Structure 1
């Protein structure tokens, strides 16, 4: 398999848009993971409302998973692995919202929106991923 260099096959603006999009996702997910590490009442109430109970241990575990997967996404050599793991994590969040009949566009599909930003940002900034998943004109 041929590896494409950073300068090949993508415009500089596209790479910057990808970096900005990925940066926003990373910032959001790091904050999301961090607030789960602290037993804030709003987080435990939300977990309880979703049917997972108000377990501080579960909440901290999910926060740690979020942070680890996000760090993997943020590091270029492991970014695809991080994106795959975050996609699975977000799929679980979507399933949880479907189960409790959350509002569709604001809550249930939020994981889909975030997943599209994860993969869109990565696709724009990673020429190897663009080669693996090309869009035809």
Structure 2
């Protein structure tokens, strides 16, 4: 039987460099996607309105989501608040999954896209944060 280290005794320095860099790479890809998504919503790009219409959303209803996403993303990118940011972003992704499911979009390309983004966000965070790994260990 192996003992797990309590989360309060784990330090950030306990993460191997390769794992930490891989985590930041995944988190960076996720953040880049989110920044583009937030930017096009705030800029009012016409294609956004065209994409939202079949989902039952209008641009004026989607625009307030962008600042919420931005706040959650900023929280996610700062190590001290990363878990809170990930939780908030998971809520946003859950709304996207529910919206695509409601209109009958294809499962793997549309409905589960929010799940894929969530895996990038949480996977990156899990790889770069030893304290999170201590809370959610993989057992043999």
Q: Identify whether the pair has TM-score above 0.5, normalized to the shorter chain.
A: yes
Aligned length: 134
1:26-37 alignment, distance < 5 Å: 26-37=31-42
User: How far apart are the structure 2 equivalents of 1:13 and 1:136?
Assistant: 21
Match of 2:130 among 127, 130, 133: 127
Q: Which runs of 4+ in 1 moved over 3 A?
A: none
TM normalised by structure 2 equals: 0.90
* Structure 2 residue 109 is matched with structure 1 residue 103: no
- Corresponding residue for 2:44? 39
- Corresponding residue for 1:2? 8
User: How far apart are the structure 2 equivalents of 1:11 and 1:39?
Assistant: 42
Provide the aligned C-alpha RMSD in A. Answer: 1.2
Match of 1:78 among 76, 81, 96: 81
1:48-59 alignment, distance < 5 Å: 48-52=53-57, 54-56=58-60, 58-59=61-62
User: How far apart are the structure 1 equivalents of 2:12 and 2:88?
Assistant: 24
User: How far apart are the structure 1 equivalents of 2:81 and 2:131?
Assistant: 13
CA drift at 1:49: 1.2
Structure 1: unaligned runs, 5 residues or longer? none
TM normalised by structure 1 equals: 0.92
Q: Secondary structure at the match of 1:101?
A: coil
